Amino acid sequence: MNLVYSVLLVEDNPGDAELIAEILPAEEFRSEHVETLAAAIQALSRKVYDLILLDLGLPDATGLEGVERINHQFPDVALVVLTGLQRDDIALQAVQAGAQDYLNKGKVDKVGVARALRHAIARKEIAVHKSRFLSTVSHEMRTPLNIIQGFASILDDEIGGPLTNQQKRCVRGILGGADRLVTLIEDLLDAAQIAAGHFSIRREPVNVSEVVATVVAAMAPLAKEKGVELKFDKGTQASIELDRLRIAQVLTNLLSNAIKFTPTNGEVKIRVSREAESVKIEVSDTGIGISLAFRPNLFKLFSQAPQGQQTKGTGLGLYVSKSIVEAHGGEINVNSVPGVGSTFWFTLPLQRSA
């Protein structure tokens, strides 16, 4: 018995809606039609659909607005956008914003549409299962890890009796490894939430320089151990609405990477400056640098630069950091010269966008 997929067609042009409905193979797809994003959200709240066909030019949502809202509210439903524009870049932006595929209304046919919708549903199912798997594994790892940290801390505090120097080094090695595992688990959970469209931030008025100073102080021992000089240029003082813990997470990731890839006697510098409509935070190092060819992949999930093979990470930190910064309405990027060093920077808007 063949599967029959339920499709919600969101299209305000009756002629285009009729054309798409006729093209969909009736033996494989059952479609319902609404004309606005508001009506689509109501329909999705009442019924589970396998796929949404969304026009990019609706009367109550233009451009990527509809994609972002639907992907945020209904992250488990496959989404294919429809466009009448002869510009693939707009549709590609929609895919980057969370759609599984796009169709040009002037170039659709029965075979091509059916294939695109089947592939979109399959890709979404894989993404959802992967996200749930990551989330489940991460949660299951937390309990035994908490036990390891707890007993190792008891040993480190010498509650059960004094330790030899060799035993102290071993215990602190356990605690250091546990801390790295905690970071990995948190990154995995964040990556799963981002993929599922469940990622969110909690804003409050915060002095940016104070957040940076706190992270710099926390990272100072790591820099000292590596023999790297850590400098902080406070620059401007600005209070903006942001998620303190999430921005600290971004800074911790950028600083730990900078220290990791900077050789002994090198330098890592953090600078806070104010631009016309934003605060800019820069983390510069005198490390190995990043090749120009790899930079477009740097912020992608599980992506690692070839230079990082000797000091491997997870490929999660920059992906999560990018999502955090963009959730604040900011931008993150890097300038780098191989063999000279890199400057990772991100911006945070002074005024929260409506």
Span 255-270, pLDDT tens digits: 998 998 899 999 999 9
Task: Please determine, for residue 229, whether its predicted confidence score (pLDDT) is greater than 90.
Answer: yes
Quote the longest CA-to-CA distance of the chain: 82
11: Cβ contacts below 8 Å, ≥ 6 apart: 17, 20, 33, 35, 53, 55, 82
Cβ atoms 266, 288 nearer than 8 A: no
The overall average pLDDT reported for the chain is 83
If we measure between CA atoms, which residue out of 137, 247, 225, 132 comes closest to residue 181? 137
Report the C-alpha gap between 159 and 22 in whole angstroms. 75
Q: Is the per-residue pLDDT at 1 higher than 60?
A: no
| 178 — pLDDT class (breaks 50, 70, 90) | confident
Q: Does 308 score more than 50 pLDDT?
A: no
pLDDT of 346 strictly over 90: yes
- Is residue 244's pLDDT more than 80? yes
pLDDT at 353: 56
Q: What is the pLDDT of residue 354?
A: 46
54 contacts 26 by C-beta, under 8 angstroms = no
The predicted model gives 197-223 an average pLDDT of 86
Write the DSSP symbol of residue 266. -
Give φ, ψ of 34 to 5 degrees.
-130, 160
Q: Is 279 helix (H, G, I), strand (E, B) or coil?
A: strand
Contact predicate 128/136, CB 8 Å: no
Cα dist from 4 to 1, 47, 97, 120, whole Å: 9, 15, 27, 15
3-class DSSP state of 138: helix
> Is the per-residue pLDDT at 121 higher than 90?
no
Local structure of 215: helix, strand or coil: helix
Percent of the chain with pLDDT over 70: 90
- Going by C-beta distance under 8 Å and a sequence separation of 6 or more, which residues neighbour residue 347? 275, 278, 279, 280, 281, 325, 330, 331, 332
pLDDT confidence of residue 248: 92
pLDDT > 50? residue 309 = no
Residue 101 C-beta-side C-alpha neighbours within 13 Å = 19
What is the per-residue pLDDT for 17?
Answer: 87
Residues 188/181/228/157 CA torsion (nearest 10 deg) = 150
Task: Report the distance separating Cα 113 and Cα 282, nearest Å.
Answer: 46
Alpha helices in the chain (DSSP H): 14-23, 37-46, 65-73, 88-96, 110-156, 165-196, 208-226, 244-260, 317-327
Q: What would you report as the CA-atom Rg of the chain, rounded to the nearest whole angstrom?
A: 24
How confident is the model over 64-85, as a mean pLDDT? Answer: 82
Residue 87 has pLDDT above 70, yes or no: no
Which one of 52-56, 131-135, 190-194 scores highest in mean pLDDT? 52-56
Mean pLDDT (whole number) for 165-173: 88
- Predicted local distance difference test score (pLDDT) of residue 108: 73
Q: What is the pLDDT of residues 275-301, one digit of tens each?
A: 888 899 999 999 888 887 777 778 877
Model confidence at 254: pLDDT above 90: yes
Closest by Cα among 184, 256, 250 to 211: 250
